[in-house]
Structure 1
Amino acid sequence: MRVLIVDDEPLARARLASLLAECSDVEVVGSVGDGDAAMAALGDLQPDVLLLDINMPGLTGTALAQRLAGRKRPLVVFCTAYENHALHAFDLGAVDYLLKPVRLERLNEALQRAGQRLQQMPRETVSYLHGRLRGEQVRVALNDVVSLVAEEKYVVVQHRGGQLLLEESLRQLEEAYPQQLIRLHRNCLVPSQRLVGLKTLADGRVLARLSGTEFTPEVSRRNLPTLRKLLRMG
């Protein structure tokens, strides 16, 4: 089980990491200090479970959970010092609600519940893009893709391991993966899970913020309403 710790207190993150080291079949894939950093890390880290604080600067734990409510993964286990958010937390689909200081026994119970829910989920098939790298045919998992940009005869795929050239057009890829790829511009597609925010420049242009990269492609006015709606829905 891949676990991401999200808490603005370094000591709280360290304590959770120490407790998780005593839990079986658990891998701590990251530890971040706020909800915005968590959203930015999801695409690369692919956690199964978030151990999520509620009161944090910026994007709060409940706001983050609300954005994730429509996704199968990651599941959310709240870890907080406050009792009065429990009802709202379970309304958001949280697996469990742990009060600080978190005890190892309760943490194990929460992870067991998360594991049972994960086992009940249908297995997701991995989609691959097939292209060329230095003349050789290779493939890359769509989950690892950062962006797809049309350049002359090919589509250049940026992914976690480098680049790949595809002969399919952006339109063909968009039609093949309508639930996974979104269009930013006539020359650019990105996996929907990579989109974490939008940045408006002084000249009115809007750039997309993507997890796992510093690349900030421009968003066309035509596609801007769809992207804003997607971010609101999480």
Structure 2
Amino acid sequence: MRVLIVDDEPLARARLAALLGECEGVEVAGSVSDGEAALEAIGNLQPDVLLLDINMPGLTGTALAQRLAGRLVPQVVFCTAYENHAVQAFELGAVDYLLKPVRLDRLRDALLRARQRLAAAPREATSYLRGRLRGEQVRIALDEVICLLAEEKYVVVQHRGGQLLLEESLRQLEETYPDQLIRLHRNCLVPPQRLLGLKTLSDGRVLARLGGTQLTPEVSRRNLPGLRKLLRMT
């Protein structure tokens, strides 16, 4: 089970990493200091569990958990020095609420609950895109896809392992996978879980921040309201 540590205090991150080293079957996927960095790390590292502080500069732990609410992965375990956020934490679907200094036995209990929740949740069947790579027919799981870009006669799939060419149009793909792909622009589709945020430039253009890539595709005015609504809901 892969765990991402999110805390603005270096000593707290180091202590949690040391405690995780004493937990069987656990890997520290990464360690970041704020909520924005956590969003990017979630897209890149695909952790199973977050150990999440609450009071952090910028995007707070509860605000981050609100964005993640309703998702199976990652599960959230709050690690905080304050008792007064517990009710809100569990309303957001947190697995557990640990008070600092975190004890090893409580951490192990929380990780066990997270593991049980992950195991008990129904898994969706994996969907695949099929295309060509250097003349050969190959397939790529939609879970691996970062974005799809229309270029001349083909659609280029940017995925975690490289690129793939598809002969279907973006419209065909959008109609085939209505819940698994969202449109940013007439030339770009992305899986909704890859969308981390939106950035408005000085000239008024809006770019999308995507997990797992440095690409920042432009967002059309037509699709902007729906994408903003999606970010508020997730």
Give matches, 1:31-70, under 5 Å. 31-70=31-70
- CA–CA distance in 1 between the matches of 2:228 and 2:123? 29
Aligned 8 A contact 2:9 2:33 in 1: yes
1:149 aligned residue: 149
- CA–CA distance in 2 between the matches of 1:180 and 1:44? 18
Identity of aligned residues (%): 81
- CA–CA distance in 2 between the matches of 1:126 and 1:7? 33
- CA–CA distance in 2 between the matches of 1:15 and 1:202? 42
SS in structure 2 of the partner of residue 129 of structure 1: strand
Aligned 8 A contact 1:2 1:26 in 2: yes
The two structures have a TM-score, normalised by structure 1, of 0.97
1:8 aligned residue: 8
Higher mean displacement: 19-28 or 98-107: 19-28
2:79 aligned residue: 79
Letter aligned with residue 118 of structure 1: L
- CA–CA distance in 2 between the matches of 1:204 and 1:60? 27
The two structures have a TM-score, normalised by structure 2, of 0.97
Shift of 1:124: 2.6
Segments of 5+ residues of structure 1 without an aligned counterpart are none
Runs of 4 or more off by more than 3 Å in structure 1? none
Letter aligned with residue 29 of structure 2: V
Letter aligned with residue 173 of structure 2: L
Higher mean displacement: 124-133 or 210-219: 124-133
Aligned 8 A contact 1:3 1:47 in 2: yes
Letter aligned with residue 134 of structure 1: R
1:18 aligned residue: 18
Segments of 5+ residues of structure 2 without an aligned counterpart are none
- CA–CA distance in 2 between the matches of 1:18 and 1:141? 34
Shift of 1:194: 0.8
SS in structure 2 of the partner of residue 208 of structure 1: strand
2:181 aligned residue: 181
Give matches, 1:1-234, under 5 Å. 1-234=1-234
- CA–CA distance in 1 between the matches of 2:110 and 2:129? 36
SS in structure 2 of the partner of residue 232 of structure 1: helix
Shift of 1:70: 2.1
What is the number of equivalent residue pairs in this alignment? 234
